[in-house]
Amino acid sequence: MNMPVRTRIAPSPTGAPHVGTAYMALFNLAFARKNGGQMILRIEDTDQSRSSNESETAIMESLQWLGIEWDEGPDKDGKFGPYRQSERKNIHAQHVQILRDKGHAYPCFCTANRLKDVRSEQMAKKETPRYDGHCLHLSQEEVENKITAGEKFVIRLKVPTDGECCFTDELRGEVKIDWKQIDHQILQKSDGYPTYHLANVVDDHLMRITHVIRGEEWISSTPKHVLLYKYFDWDTPIFAHLPLLRNPDKSKLSKRKNPTGINYYRDAGFLPEVISNYLGTMGYTLPDQREIFSIEELTQSFDIRRVSLGGPIFDLAKLKWLNGRYLREKLSEKEVVERMIDWKINSGFIQKIIPHALQRLENFSDFMPLSGFLFQDYPELELSSLIGKFDASDASKLIKTCEWELEKLAPWNRHQICKLFQNLAEKEDKKLKEILPLFFQVISGESVSLPLFDSIEILGPDLARLRLRKALEFLTSEGFGLSKKGLKSLEKDYRQKYGDRID
RNA sequence: GUCCCGUUCGUCUAGCCAGGUCAGGACACCGGGUUUUCAUCCCGGCAACAGGGGUUCGAAUCCCCUACGGGACGCCA
C-alpha cells in the first residue's frame, strides 16, 4: 500500500515569526507538493507559560504573506485534527498511559535542584549529562504513596542501558548514537502537558506524517523519537534533517546578530516572493542553477537529495540584490507602485504620522524630511550627534539595556513604550529628558523629529529593535562597544534591576 | 566536557552518489565601458576543493585519521 506523502511544519507559538520557520516550511511544502502530497501546519503550544495566541496568529499570517500554504491546520480543517497540540492533551495523556502500562515510561519525583546537581557532577566527571535513573527503581507502593501525598511528578521515558540507536537520515545516511548518550526524556511535565518529544511523535503518527523534514538541531534527539515509535509499535517516518541557517559568524541564526523576524523584512520593504526565493537558495540549487524562481518553480523540480549540508549563511547583501532584480525584472512599473502603496505609501500609514507631524508643518514639503526615517530601513548615524552629552560607552550600555527591555515589550503601543522609558530613566537614575535625545538619534538619526514614543510605535517592533542594534554596532565600530566582559556585567546588573528575564 | 553533524572562492553554490574537461555560475569586491551625477546595464579581473594518509594509471569525487566550524546535552521547541 502506498501512503500519500505528508509533511508538516510544527512551529511553537512563543515569539515573533522566524525566518527559520519559513525556511523549513518552504522545503516541507516543496517536497510534499512535488510528491503529490500534503503539508500540514501543527501548532506546538505545549509550553503553557510561553505560548500565545498572538504569536500563533502572527506566524500563520507571516507564512501566508510569504506564499507558503498548508493543506491542513488550525484554520483549515482536515481529517486529522485538531491541529493545535493544546487541544490534543487527552490524546497525549492516553498515549503516556499506554507507555506506562507497557512499562516503557515511569514517574519521577526528583526536584529541579537535584537534577541540576546530578548534571553538574556528570559534567565534572566528563560524562554526558543525563538522568541517573533515581526514580526508576521506586516500587509500585512508593510511587502510589508519593502520588497520594500530592508530590509533583513527571513521566520519563525508559531508555535501553546499552547498545546503540541506529536510524537513517535521508540526507546523511546511517546515524548511530549510543543509548548511553540518550537521556530519560521527560514525556509529560508536572502540569500534565506533554513535552515536544512525546506530542510530536504521537501527532506525527496520528496525522499520518510520512516524512519528517526538520532542522539539524533535532538529530541528537531523534533516538528518543525512534524509541517512542518502537514502543508504540508504529512505523517510523523518514527523517531528513536540513542544515540550519547561520549568522555571518557561522553560529545558528539569531536575532542578536541578524534580523530573524519575517516581519522585519516586510517592514523594511522586501517583497515576500523574494524572501521565499532567497530561502530556496539556502542549501539548495535548482537543477538548472537559475537563481530567480517562484515557490511553484522550486516545487516542480524539487529533489531533497540536492540539499547541501553545510550551514548556509544568511547574506543580507545578496537578498537585497535579489529584491532589486525583482523590482526591475519581475514587476512592471505599475506593479512596483502598487506594491509600494501596499507597503507604506498609503493614506493609512500617513494618517498615523500626521497627528504628530502637523504641529511641525508649514507646507507639505516639510513632511518628507520630517518623517522620512519612518520609511527607512535604518538611518545613518554620526557619533557626536548620537551620543550628545553622554559618554560613548555609557550610551552603549543604555542602548543595550533599552534593547533588552524593548525585546520584552508587549503589547507594542505608545503607552507601554512611554512606561518603558520612564522606568528606564528611573532605574538608571537619570531624568527622562536626559536620556531621550540619545534615543531620538538612535531611532531617527536626527535631533529634530517626531515624538519618540509615537515614532517607535509606528515603526513597529522589528524596525525599532533593529535600530538599537544598528546604533550599538555603530558605537562598536567607533571603538565604544561593549566588551564581552562589560556585556556580562551589564547583563548581571540588568537582571538585578529589571528582572531575571532576557529574551 | 560528552556525543552527533558538517567542511569547494570572503558569501550562496555547481561538480561528488555512477573517480578522468584550464574546478563552472551568482553575490560582494576591484578595474573598464555606456550614462550630464548616481544607480542600472555591459565587459573584464581577483578568488576555493581544510590538512595528512591511503585505494587507483588517475581523487574535489571512494576510505581512514587530524584540524576547524556548528548543533545537542531544559518540566523550551
How confident is the model at residue A112, as a pLDDT? 80
Residue A124 pLDDT greater than 80, yes or no:
no
Interface ipTM: 0.95
CB-proximal positions of chain B, under 7 Å: 1-8, 10-17, 24-28, 40-41, 69-77
**Which residue in the block uniquely carries the three cell numbers 490524546?**
A91
Residue type, A90: N
- Does the pLDDT value for residue A440 go beyond 90? yes
pLDDT digits (tens, 9 = 90+) for A320-363: 999 999 999 999 999 999 999 999 999 999 999 999 999 999 99
Q: Which of residues 331-370 of A touch strand B (CB under 7 A)?
A: none
For A159-202, what is each residue's pLDDT tens digit?
A: 998 899 999 999 999 999 999 999 999 999 989 999 999 999 99
Contact at 8 Å (CB) between A211 and A6?
Answer: yes
Q: What is the mean pLDDT of chain A?
A: 93
Write the DSSP symbol of residue A245.
P
A328 touches strand B (CB under 7 A): yes
Distance A317 CA to B2 C1' (A): 38
Residues of A annotated as part of the active site: 255
Residue A256 C-alpha cell reads as 542578536
pTM for the full predicted model: 0.94
Binned at pLDDT 50, 70 and 90, residue A122 comes out as: confident
pLDDT of residue A141: 82
Q: Which residues contact A161 (CB under 8 A, 6 or more apart)?
A: A179, A180
The average pLDDT across A230-238 equals 96
- Residue listed under C-alpha cell 519521577: A108
Q: How confident is the model at residue A501 (pLDDT cuts 50, 70, 90)?
A: confident
Main-chain dihedrals φ then ψ at residue A250, nearest 5 degrees: 80, -5
pLDDT: is A112 or A60 the higher one?
Answer: A60
Quick one: what percent of chain A has pLDDT higher than 90? 80
Nucleotide B7 C1' to residue A456 CA (A):
43
Q: Is the CB of A448 under 7 A from strand B?
A: no
CB A52 within 7 Å, strand B: no
pLDDT band at A135 (very low <50, low <70, confident <90, very high): confident
Distance A174 CA to B55 C1' (A): 23
Our measurement of CA A289 to C1' B21, in angstroms, reads 20
Q: Of A7-16, A29-38, A485-494, where does mean pLDDT reach its minimum?
A: A485-494
Q: Which helix (H) or strand (E) holds A4?
A: none
Q: What element of type H or E holds A417?
A: helix A414-427
Instruction: Evaluate if the CB of A124 falls below 7 Å from strand B.
Output: no
Residue nearest to nucleotide B41 (CA to C1'): A328
Instruction: Look up residue A193 and give its DSSP letter.
Output: P
If 0-12 CB within 10 Å is exposed, 13-18 middle and 19+ buried, where does residue A332 land? exposed
Beta strands in A125-208 (DSSP E): 154-157, 164-169, 173-178, 186-188
Cα A18–chain centre separation: 4
Asked if A31 contacts A304 with a C-beta cutoff of 8 angstroms, the reply is yes
Torsion of CA A285, A287, A293, A294, to 10 degrees: -100
Per-residue pLDDT at A1 exceeds 60: no
Residue A152 pLDDT = 86
d(CA A17, CA A264): 10
Q: Within 7 Å: CB of A417 and strand B?
A: no
What are the start-end ranges of the H helices in A129-284? 140-148, 196-206, 222-232, 262-267, 272-280
If phi > 0 it is left, if psi is from -120 to 50 it is alpha, else beta; for residue A126 that is left
Please give residues of chain A from 229 to 288 whose alpha-adjacent beta carbon (CB) lies under 7 Å from any atom of strand B: 243-244, 246, 249-252, 281-285
Q: Which residues are A166's β-sheet partners?
A: A176
H-only helix segments in A268-346: 272-280, 295-300, 316-325, 333-343
**Spatial distance from the CA of A171 to the C1' of B51 (Å):** 26
Q: State the average pLDDT over residues A295-304.
A: 96
A89 touches strand B (CB under 7 A): no
Average pLDDT on A44-59 reads 94
Of all nucleotides in the shown strands, which has a C1' nearest the CA of A44? B77
C-alpha cell at A277: 526565493
**Is there contact between A179 and strand B, defined as CB under 7 Å from any strand atom?**
no
Res A126 pLDDT > 80: no
C-alpha cell at A343: 507597503
Whether A305 sits with its Cβ under 7 A from any strand B atom: the answer reads yes
The mean pLDDT value for A91-96 works out to 96
Between the CA of A120 and the C1' of B2, what is the distance in angstroms?
12
**Cβ proximity of A397 and A490 under 8 Å:** yes
Question: What is the Rg, in whole angstroms, of the alpha carbon atoms belonging to chain A?
Answer: 26
Quick check: A129 pLDDT over 90?
no
Contact A54, A96 (CB under 8 A): no
**Euclidean distance between CA atoms A23 and A389, whole angstroms:** 44
**β-strand A105-108 against A186-188: which pairing, if any?**
unpaired
